[in-house]
């Protein structure tokens, strides 16, 4: 109801704007403008009755008659949001912003929608703009924390979550979830553990939080607790590759190589041909000097995912172990030419190979 009252208020303000137009003080309103407002009012009446599709049809007519009125597009975006059609809602809000660049309500709504559809950079962009316009932006800081976390910008996520905590009189449950997730990503594992414990006390069956607690416990070397949390999460997250990867790491730490491989192959059954699972299988084979199996798995990986550059690192290591120096050099170069971080071990190996190959 508050949204509908707001829509009517905006209609009244638009009408005042139209009435103030005209030459030499003559107050005139074009026929199209009058008709557009009439259809807009009709759309609001349909919304009050819960007739969303009929409201959309009338809004479309209003927009056809007067396409530059930002409020028409904004309300259309709101209707699409109620109909669970976020992509269409985003298009409408973007059009509203085309005709009215300073539109804080639209920034906030489109930011939430971008967060919903997984476009986290745009979500953060619009939510950040909205924080400067709303006197009570506490909730927006929490949304920004989530958006920045999901965008991989963990320090910004932490900062906005801290701001939320400082401003909020009583933090809501999801604050602890995103705070724990963020602390894990910036390697503050004890802080992550504390936050996740608070969240899981309230939501003990949240599979994502259970998994994150599992990997946090793993980072803290509390392995038995780690596998317990991972197993609980795995009952729901059957297609999450990290569940199988961390289970494999757990068994590998106890020198149960075959059980570790078995976990990764179970993962492949549930997520066929997943690159991370194939990679971890290849690494395990290489670390146990099972070079033929490692090479076979890596070749399968790069056939399906030729841009999976870490695979070429291990193809080089396998080739060098088999004294295939030309192949090793080629794989190492391909790997180094396509990564951003500095890999000292492989750089040193390339230098050694260059010296060996030049003497042949």
Over residues 224-254, the pLDDT tens digits come to 999 999 999 999 999 999 999 999 999 999 9
Q: Categorize the per-residue pLDDT at 25 as very low, low, confident or very high, splitting at 50, 70 and 90.
A: very low
Pair of tokens at residue 86: 């976020």
Q: Which CATH architecture has domain 1-101?
A: Alpha Horseshoe (1.25)
Q: Which pLDDT score, from 0 to 100, does residue 1 have?
A: 54
For residues 179 and 194, give the distance between their C-alpha atoms in angstroms, rounded to a whole number.
10
Q: What is the mean pLDDT of the chain?
A: 91
For residues 151 and 119, give the distance between their C-alpha atoms in angstroms, rounded to a whole number.
8
For residues 239 and 9, give the distance between their C-alpha atoms in angstroms, rounded to a whole number.
49
User: Cα–Cα–Cα angle for 305, 306, 308, nearest 5°?
Assistant: 70
User: Cα–Cα–Cα angle for 140, 154, 167, nearest 5°?
Assistant: 35
Query: What are 293-344's pLDDT values in tens digits?
Result: 999 999 999 999 999 999 999 999 999 999 999 999 999 999 999 999 999 9
> Look-up: residue for tokens 């703009």?
129
- 324, burial (CB in 10 Å: exposed 0-12, middle 13-18, buried 19+): middle
For residues 137 and 177, give the distance between their C-alpha atoms in angstroms, rounded to a whole number.
20
Nearest to 218 by CA among 174, 263, 187, 177: 187
Is 112 in contact with 142 (CB distance < 8 Å)?
no
For residues 114 and 127, give the distance between their C-alpha atoms in angstroms, rounded to a whole number.
10
| pTM, two decimal places | 0.84
For residues 131 and 276, give the distance between their C-alpha atoms in angstroms, rounded to a whole number.
38
Query: What are 183-212's pLDDT values in tens digits?
Result: 999 999 999 999 999 999 999 999 999 999
Q: Where are the alpha helices (DSSP H) in the chain?
A: 2-19, 31-48, 52-65, 70-82, 86-99, 104-117, 120-131, 138-150, 154-167, 173-185, 189-202, 207-219, 223-234, 241-253, 257-270, 275-287, 291-304, 310-321, 325-336, 344-358
Helix (H) or strand (E) holding 30: none
Pair of tokens at residue 333: 């170069």
């Amino acid at each position: 109801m508050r949204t509908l009252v707001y829509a009517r208020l905006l209609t009244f303000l638009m009408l005042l704007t139209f009435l103030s137009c005209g030459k030499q003080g003559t107050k005139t309103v074009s026929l199209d403008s009058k008709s557009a407002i009439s259809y807009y009012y009709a759309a609001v009446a349909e919304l009050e009755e819960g007739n969303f599709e009929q409201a959309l049809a009338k809004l479309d007519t209003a927009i056809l008659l007067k396409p530059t009125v930002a409020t028409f597009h904004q309300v259309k975006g709101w209707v699409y949001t109620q109909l669970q059609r976020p992509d269409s809602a985003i298009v409408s809000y973007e059009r509203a912003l085309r005709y009215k660049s300073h539109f804080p309500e639209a920034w906030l709504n489109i930011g939430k929608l971008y967060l919903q559809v997984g476009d986290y950079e745009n979500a953060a962009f619009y939510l950040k703009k909205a924080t400067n316009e709303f006197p009570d932006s506490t909730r927006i800081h929490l949304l920004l924390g989530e958006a920045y976390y999901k965008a991989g910008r963990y320090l910004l996520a932490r900062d906005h979550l801290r701001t939320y905590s400082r401003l909020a009189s009583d933090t809501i449950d999801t604050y602890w979830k995103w705070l724990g997730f963020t602390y894990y990503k910036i390697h503050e594992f004890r802080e992550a553990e504390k936050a996740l414990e608070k969240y899981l006390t309230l939501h003990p069956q949240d599979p994502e939080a259970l998994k994150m607690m599992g990997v946090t416990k793993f980072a803290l070397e509390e392995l038995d607790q780690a596998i317990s949390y991972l197993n609980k999460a795995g009952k729901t997250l059957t297609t999450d590759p990290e569940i199988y990867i961390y289970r494999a790491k757990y068994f590998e730490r106890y020198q149960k190589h075959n059980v570790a491989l078995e976990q990764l192959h179970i993962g492949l059954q549930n997520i066929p041909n997943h690159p991370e699972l194939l990679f971890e299988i290849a690494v395990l084979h290489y670390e146990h000097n099972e070079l033929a199996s490692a090479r076979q798995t890596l070749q399968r990986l790069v056939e399906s995912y030729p841009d999976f550059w870490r695979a070429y690192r291990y193809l080089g290591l396998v080739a060098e172990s088999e004294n295939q120096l030309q192949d090793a050099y080629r794989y190492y170069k391909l790997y180094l030419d396509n990564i951003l971080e500095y890999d000292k071990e492989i750089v040193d190996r390339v230098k050694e190979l260059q010296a060996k190959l030049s003497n042949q």
